Amino acid sequence: MTVQIGDRIPSANLTRATDDGPKPVSTDDVFAGKTVALFAVPGAFTPTCSAKHLPGFKDHRDELAGKGVDTVACLSVNDAFVMGAWADSQGVGKDDIVMLGDGNGDFTRALGLSMDAKGYGMGERSQRYSMIVKDGVVEKLNVEQPGEFKVSSAEHLLTQL
């Protein structure tokens, strides 16, 4: 079942690249007591994700903060090394956007937002989406139709705040 507005974010372990290597981070730590703008991409370094999705959130980080967002987080079914390298290649600072690796896709499956990308040689991945989560509860949810990039953008999310 796909996560819905009003649902609590499931507890799961993700990874984050740090200067000391990958470190586990729980979704409870990411979302508890904060307003989080979470966006998910099918894959780091993929065309739309690198040209539009991540740059949009990087460019609008301050505007999101001005509308009450404490944390902007990017999630992908990639490992922490890939997420860290992608952030570096995009000029994303560790305090600008929290880059979360869901290497095995456990969190993505728990949300009901996984997709089969085996036809592209990518295995199981995340659908493209964005959401606003307040203290662990989904307030806004924007899931893209396959192949589209409209409702999950930073610009669209700003209109919802």
Question: Would you place residue 126 in the very low, low, confident or very high pLDDT band (cuts 50, 70, 90)?
Answer: very high
Residue 116: the pLDDT is 83
In a 13 Å sphere around the CA of 84, the CA atoms on its Cβ side amount to 12
Q: Is 49 assigned a catalytic role? A: yes
Question: Would you place residue 142 in the very low, low, confident or very high pLDDT band (cuts 50, 70, 90)?
Answer: very high
Instruction: Classify strands 124-126 and 114-116 as parallel, antiparallel or unpaired.
Output: antiparallel
Find the mean pLDDT for residues 116-133.
86
| Cα–Cα dist 148/127, whole Å | 10
Distance between first and last Cα of the chain: 26
Cα–Cα nearest to 26, from 9, 40, 43, 5: 9
Are the C-beta atoms of 137 and 5 separated by less than 8 Å? no
Residue 119: the pLDDT is 77
Q: How far is CA 2 from CA 8, 78, 79, 101, in A?
A: 12, 21, 23, 20
Residue 14 predicted with pLDDT over 90: yes
Are the C-beta atoms of 25 and 84 separated by less than 8 Å? no
Residue 92: the pLDDT is 94
Q: Tell me the pLDDT tens digit for each residue of 68-99.
A: 999 999 999 999 999 999 999 999 987 899 99
Residue 143 predicted with pLDDT over 80: yes
DSSP 123: -
| Cα–Cα dist 152/17, whole Å | 24
The first and second tokens of residue 21, run together, are: 């290597």
**Active-site residue, selected from the candidate residues 14, 36, 38, 49:** 49
pTM for the structure as a whole = 0.94
What's at 111, amino acid-wise? L
The first and second tokens of residue 81, run together, are: 């090394």
User: Cβ–Cβ contacts within 10 Å for residue 66, how many?
Assistant: 11
| Cα–Cα dist 8/50, whole Å | 29
Q: What is the mean pLDDT of the chain?
A: 94
Question: Would you place residue 117 in the very low, low, confident or very high pLDDT band (cuts 50, 70, 90)?
Answer: confident
Its CATH class, for the domain covering 13-159, is: alpha beta
Find the mean pLDDT for residues 26-35.
96
Domain ranges, ordered by start, for the chain = 13-159
Are the C-beta atoms of 129 and 1 separated by less than 8 Å? no
